Amino acid sequence: MLCGGTLALLTTRGVDVHLLCLTRGEGGELGEPPLTDRAGLAALRTQELACAAQQLGCQAPQFLGYVDPLVGPSETLFAPEHDFDTLVEQIVNVLVSVRASVLLTHGSNGEYGHPAHQLVHRAALAAAAHPALAEAGHPPAIVYSFAATYPNHPYPRLANADDSASLIVDVSGVLDQKEAAARCHASQNALFVRRRSEAAGRPLTVREVLLAKESFHRHWPAQAAYSPPPPAADPFLAWLANTP
């Protein structure tokens, strides 16, 4: 929902995109109406993500094996139980194994304040410049986060307030792929449209709530907002510009 269009653009331009997930989403919604019971949600969410990855042209997702906590009273969200250093090492190992030159992750504020998203953000930044990368002969990975804020963002609740957009990508040309991937997440489709349907005063479709522009903030190397460097200095920009 927040960067699927960009992933589709990357894969159509020959970029090898790998997905790494902290949990299998077993603590989340079951769908409306329910598509499974609580015990079966992890397996269903795994299938949904694999479906979305295929639609976007990404490699099959990998999972780090953490357990997604149940949503608490008043929709309170939690990060899974973890050891931070171990989590960072796991991400480092994947960066090395896939020879990643760019790491795309959650934003500083966890989009809408999700503690698990914030945890992944911190761990990703720690992993991207970890000494173990150099020891493995791997340079630090350039780090971007998605859902960066910019003036008149259409969904400010989802925009990370502390991450000013350094890049805004027009994904209108791949909205069909983005929609197909979003629809794969059937257990979350009601979640995708709920708030916007309430605001609009009518039921909206998944297609109607898709962002046609996706925004990113570069965390390392740091850069000023709205002033991206030349594509030659940044493989993420080079890929999106379709340059060597």
CA–CA dist 209, 193 (Å, integer): 7
Mean pLDDT over 226-232 rounds to 58
CA 141 to chain centroid, in Å, comes to: 16
> Which pLDDT score is estimated for 107?
98
CA–CA dist 163, 110 (Å, integer): 11
Task: Give 209's pLDDT tier (boundaries 50, 70, 90).
Answer: very high
CA angle 144, 234, 147 (to 5 degrees): 25
CA–CA dist 144, 236 (Å, integer): 9
Mean pLDDT over 182-204 rounds to 97
Q: 20 - beta bridge partners?
A: 62
- The number of residues making up the chain comes to 244
Task: Give 69's pLDDT tier (boundaries 50, 70, 90).
Answer: very high
CATH (one of 3.30.2130.10, 3.10.310.10, 3.40.50.10320, 3.40.190.10) for 4-240 = 3.40.50.10320
Mean pLDDT over 151-172 rounds to 96
Q: Which residues contact 236 (CB under 8 A, 6 or more apart)?
A: 102, 104, 142, 144, 167, 216, 218
Q: Which H or E element spans position 175?
A: helix 175-184
Torsion angle in degrees (nearest 10) through CA of 52, 55, 58, 62: 30
For residues 108 and 68, the answer to whether their CB atoms sit within 8 Å is no
Percent of the chain with pLDDT over 90: 90
DSSP structure class, residue 201: T
CA–CA dist 197, 199 (Å, integer): 5
Mean pLDDT over 170-181 rounds to 98
231, burial (CB in 10 Å: exposed 0-12, middle 13-18, buried 19+): middle
CA–CA dist 164, 187 (Å, integer): 31
Predicted TM-score (pTM) of the model is 0.94
95, burial (CB in 10 Å: exposed 0-12, middle 13-18, buried 19+): buried
| 92 C-beta neighbours (distance < 10 Å), count | 23
